[in-house]
Amino acid sequence: MTSPTLSCVACGETTSEWSSARCDCGEPRWVDVDVAGFDWDNVTDAPGMWRYESLLPVDRPGSLGDVAGDTPLVRTPRLDDVAGARIHVKNEAANATGSFKDRGSAVGIAWALEHGVDTVGTVSHGNMAMSMAAHAATVDLDCLVLVPADIPAERLGNIAQYGPTLLRVDGDYGKLYDRSLELGEEAGIEFVNSDAPLRVEGQKTTALEICEAFAAEGAQPPDAIVLPVSSGGHASGAWKAVRELHRAGAIDSLPRLYFVQAAACAPIAEAFERGDDEVTPVAAGETIAYSIANANPPSGNRVLAAARETGGAVLAVSDDAIRTAQREFATRAGLSVETSSATTLAGTKRLAESGAIENDDEVVLVATGSGFKERGSGETPDVETVKLDELGAVLGVER
């Protein structure tokens, strides 16, 4: 397959020279996709997210990547009362490695196979590292994973099991992102980082699936889609998806896109609140939502633009609110979600309180990853121990 052109949304620059590097203006690029003739009737019966193959720049890789996507969209009425809207949850934990990152990894691996690339890489706190390593292993590609030095120890084991070259890097995480792209050019490694054009293409399929599910019920898109945001790659993909669908005529209007950060590290939310068009890096504080604690998000400016164009917002929530929301996901929806995913419910509550979201709004919360991977992140319960011969009495059952 020939290389597609790339365009910068910020400045309009277009290039036919493939590179994961950013535009000269400093912003990330998007892959140009021809949406002419697309509608829901010509979605294929290919597995997973590959049903949208006409909107993707690669063919499916014939491996684990073939089953990326096609995750459940679950109506969760017991969350309505606490959230203040009609809630649906897009459960990305159903992907092979337990997070939405499999979507972008599948596209990156497919690209590498089509273009004779021997080594892929990524810079990640955890989920993306696991995903790239797993997908590379299934097609016998070498994989280089660069993680921050302070990554929790349990995450290292989750990544290492797939056999990548794994390095902890002591230094500024934002600069590590930039250096990885330079290394990719120098060493011939295709770094499929958080907001790389290939990853954004895969991750846009989350929003494509959401909109298709509503269309299948004879409805327009949901009123709002709520996502956690770190680097901005998933947010960028959601924005790209709804823009492409709108341009193709598959949807009549854009859903409002809301993006949520942890208050201890919320550079995009702070910029949105100030009315700025550009994100200023911050000093990251500690938060239980470790995987979205990005002090210098590479696609932060794009997130601001996405929220404003769609009538949405970027907001921040406290760790206490995240803990409460994580517990409510479990006890009201039966879903174990990672702390970053729980920000979506916490954020929706705030939006409902402010009147930005109303009771009859159809709202999709994107649960980006499984809570089972965050061992120790949940509260330790105080569980009563009883003797076997006293069990009946404790339960009020007479023999």
* pTM score: 0.94
> DSSP per residue over 302-363, as a string?
HHHHHHHHHT-EEEEE-HHHHHHHHHHHHHHH---B-HHHHHHHHHHHHHHHHTSS-TT-EE
Answer yes or no: are the C-beta atoms of 363 and 222 closer than 8 Å: yes
Residues 19-24: contacts with CB under 8 Å, at least 24 apart = 19/185, 20/181, 20/184, 20/190, 20/191, 20/192, 20/193, 20/196, 20/197, 20/198, 21/181, 21/185, 22/181, 22/298
Give the side-chain half-sphere CA count within 13 A for 104: 32
Using N-to-C axis directions, what is the helix angle for 205-216 and 233-248, rounded to 10°? 50
Q: Which class in CATH covers the domain with range 67-96+200-373?
A: alpha beta
Task: Please name the amino acid found at residue 42.
Answer: N
Q: In angstroms, what is the C-alpha Rg of the chain?
A: 21
State the Cα–Cα distance between residues 28 and 30, nearest whole angstrom.
7
Q: Per residue of the chain (399 residues), what is the pLDDT tens digit?
A: 556 899 998 999 999 887 767 888 989 999 999 999 999 998 999 999 999 999 999 999 989 999 999 999 999 999 999 999 999 999 999 999 999 999 999 999 999 999 999 999 999 988 999 999 999 999 999 999 999 888 888 889 899 999 999 999 998 888 888 899 888 989 999 999 989 999 999 999 999 999 999 999 999 999 999 999 999 999 999 999 999 999 999 999 999 999 999 999 999 999 999 999 999 999 989 999 999 999 999 999 999 999 999 999 999 999 999 999 999 999 999 999 999 999 999 999 999 999 999 999 999 999 999 998 876 555 666 778 878 788 778 778 866
For the chain, the farthest-separated pair of C-alpha atoms sits apart, in whole angstroms, at 80
Strand partners, 367: 91
135 Rama class: left (phi>0) / alpha (psi -120 to 50) / beta:
alpha
State the Cα–Cα distance between residues 246 and 138, nearest whole angstrom.
36
Q: Where are the domains of the chain?
A: 67-96+200-373
Q: What's the distance, CA 360 to chain centroid?
A: 26
How much is the pLDDT for 379? 60
Answer yes or no: are the C-beta atoms of 264 and 293 closer than 8 Å: yes
* Helix, strand, or coil (residue 63): coil
Answer yes or no: are the C-beta atoms of 312 and 258 closer than 8 Å: yes
